[in-house]
Structure 1
């Protein structure tokens, strides 16, 4: 059993406490017997040449490997995972590309075999997989107590790279729309209107772009590649969660909601985007 993180709630103050203690808490968490066993197994087995059969036949290895990509929910879908890896990351007819999921594509890329069917990972790649596993495992442990804090930590770990490495603003917003945990942050932080997810994906992207410009400035993708932009979005998310969970609209923090909308009503902006997209 892993040592559980110490939290004081899922509010803004709870997030501030977690961030101020995260380095120490994560080190303690990683010293847990279960976590150390998985890390040692990953380093030992992934540092040698192995085959896809070796990986798929070792559940104790496969689970932390999948967790390093945020794909631990796929652990019981062996045939599905095997097909993603075996078909490779670049085949347009392959599962990874057809699913259009960056995590699956990266899984297939990392574990792509050579012409002899062998998989050989570099020391740097093994380090990345181990670090990905321990980070995701810590986030999961946090989420077992405070789901909103897990969502915030996941956002913090993913959004900056996505913002920096997306080919265009449009592709950036499309990737966010297809990523449920990231969209949960933006849904609350941007106070998206009811029915947003039922819109055509192009209209969703238009609306997110306009809402992000209102909240983060003229270049929101660049803002989300910075610590300041990420922190602001997480704090807006947690504040809105506090408001949603409060006893009434008069609870402390409700007045901040009008400030967060920047004096421009959400429904008005929603209507404007719809009218401009038709």
Structure 2
């Protein structure tokens, strides 16, 4: 029997090869070729929003595939950019929106925004990693969670960052066998409690991170028999964050419906 840990290790130990397998999938090849051929011709937010294939590709690359319907919301993110601390994306807890606005920085660079590598190959690289994690989750969501945590945790600066991300929080709760009641407690108390359990700086150490993920995958295996879990329970359709209540309020306030 292949365990969650061995499945995760098989992918993670040779990540370039794992990503190359993803890159060779016919549908990935097709959409990537289209993206690279067309993105350089995009000169404005309007151009970008008008091409559904480019739009969907870039959103999936940033883990925002389930937000593709919220076009007015995404338009506001891209229009305001990230240069101003008060820009819409910078005021959102979820950093994926700021990452998107950084990759496609029309606010700062106008018609030249898509000429930069971060808007072209940078987005492609993110798309490959996102697809790899999604494919892993189709077989075992614990593997997807481990790969996601491995990618995101080194950039975490506080336990509050972990609590703001549903998938990161799920990994931590599993690794320390915390009851779901903990997730319902006061957020500041949760953060303080997690600080007593671990130091987020340890996640910057590959060896310590590896040991932590070995613990997580072992406990995930115990709690989630391979044929008895919902792959979308934490991630939603495509993301580790889900859609929070405050985000839904922000979306609704934009009176969606336009493109």
1:63-212 → structure 2 map (5 Å cutoff): 63-114=56-107, 117-118=110-111, 119-160=113-154, 162-163=155-156, 166=157, 172-212=158-198
Aligned partners of 1:49 and 1:120 also within 8 Å: yes
Counterparts in 2 of 1:110 and 1:41: CA distance versus 1, 3 Å: same
CA RMSD of the aligned region, Å? 2.3
The alpha-carbon deviation at position 205 of structure 1 amounts to: 1.1
Give the stretch that moved more between structures: 111-120 or 64-73.
111-120
The alignment status of 1:227 with 2:220, answered yes or no, reads: no
Query: Could you list the runs of 5+ residues in structure 2 that have no partner in the other structure?
Result: 226-259
Q: CA deviation at 1:211?
A: 0.7
Instruction: Work out the CA distance in 2 between the residues paired with 1:101 and 1:116.
Output: 23
Task: Give the CA deviation at 1:10.
Answer: 4.9
- List runs of 5+ in structure 1 lacking aligned partners: 1-7, 167-171, 213-219, 247-278
Task: Work out whether residues 173 and 205 of structure 1, in 8 Å CA contact, stay in contact via their aligned partners in 2.
Answer: yes
Tell me the CA shift for residue 49 of structure 1: 5.0
Residue 99 of structure 1: CA displacement?
2.1
Q: What is the CA-CA distance between 1:243 and the residue it aligns to?
A: 2.3
- Counterparts of 2:44 and 2:135, CA distance in 1: 31
Any conservation in 2 of the 1:174–1:205 contact (CA below 8 Å)?
yes
Show the counterpart of 1:54: 47
Distance 1:9 1:22 in 2: 19
The CA deviation at 1:124 is: 4.7
Structure with bigger gyration radius? 1
Does structure 1 residue 16 correspond to structure 2 residue 9?
Answer: yes
